[in-house]
Amino acid sequence: MTASNTTGNRLKKSHKLSIAGVTTVAAAAVTFSLIPGHASAESQSKDVAASASIAPAAWNIANGSGQAAAVHQSLTSKNNIADRVAEIHAKQGPAAATVKADAKDKADIKKKAAAEAKAKKRAAEKAKANRSADRKPTYANNLNGWIKEALSIMKKEKIPGTYEGLHRNIIRESSGDPRAINNWDINAKNGVPSIGLLQVIKPTFDTYHVKGTPDSQYHPVANIVAAANYAADRYGSIDNVDSAY
């Protein structure tokens, strides 16, 4: 065989690819020709051509070629990330809700405790006020009660005097009448009559009046305390008085 014949008989690479393409088209044509009720030879030819054009792309994808493989890998990676994020959110959701609920419960407990403490404080103050009221003695609205109330004030103010000394002088001065008034002695002539249980004139009452008692000569307790305060200053004690003073 000569060199020229050898070259003529040897298939080039491009010829082989062409033959492979023809073979693929022929195979596709045969396949479509076997399908019953196929429309026409023209439509069969179009289907064969389409199959011929699709075949290389399908072959490339099947063999993991270039861009298709990269796109597939990217989508798979994104899907995995999205699934992981969704999983994290799903786990964090109940935990966050639990933390929020716990915080609300703690706030409610604190608020309730503060309200209870406030209520207890009010109750304690009220009980204390009631105890104070209970301890405060009550006095009869008569000579005996007036003397006893006057003695309690005198004790606080450190004014000396006894029940006997007060009672004795009251009976002598006014017979126990808080409205008694002397309109005939020298004081009356000077325009300052003696008034009340212990017959105190206005200047003396004003000078020795004890704060916290009514500012009236006619008030029995105020009159007794002011007179006892004056007697303590002048005679040492109301007990030491046995006559006009």
- Average pLDDT per block of 10 residues along the chain, 245 residues long: 44 43 41 42 47 46 56 66 71 67 84 90 86 80 98 97 98 97 94 97 97 97 98 97 90
Write the pLDDT tens digit of every residue in 160-185.
Answer: 999 999 999 999 999 999 999 999 99
Residues linked to residue 213 through DSSP beta bridges, in sequence order: 211
| 151 and 234 belong to one structural domain | yes
Q: What is this structure's pTM?
A: 0.48
Q: Helices marked H in 63-175 — which ranges? A: 66-135, 143-157, 163-174
| 200 and 236 belong to one structural domain | yes
- Residue 23 placed within a domain: no
| Beta-strand runs (E) in the chain | 181-182, 194-195
Cα gap 38→69, rounded to integer Å = 36
| 128 and 151 belong to one structural domain | no
- Residue 17 placed within a domain: no
Which DSSP letter does residue 136 get? S
How far, rounded to the nearest angstrom, does the alpha carbon of residue 107 sit from its chain's CA centroid?
A: 7
Last residue of a domain, one of 136, 166, 193: 136
| 132 and 163 belong to one structural domain | no
- Of residues 66, 64, 35, the one with CA closest to residue 48: 35
Cα gap 91→81, rounded to integer Å = 15
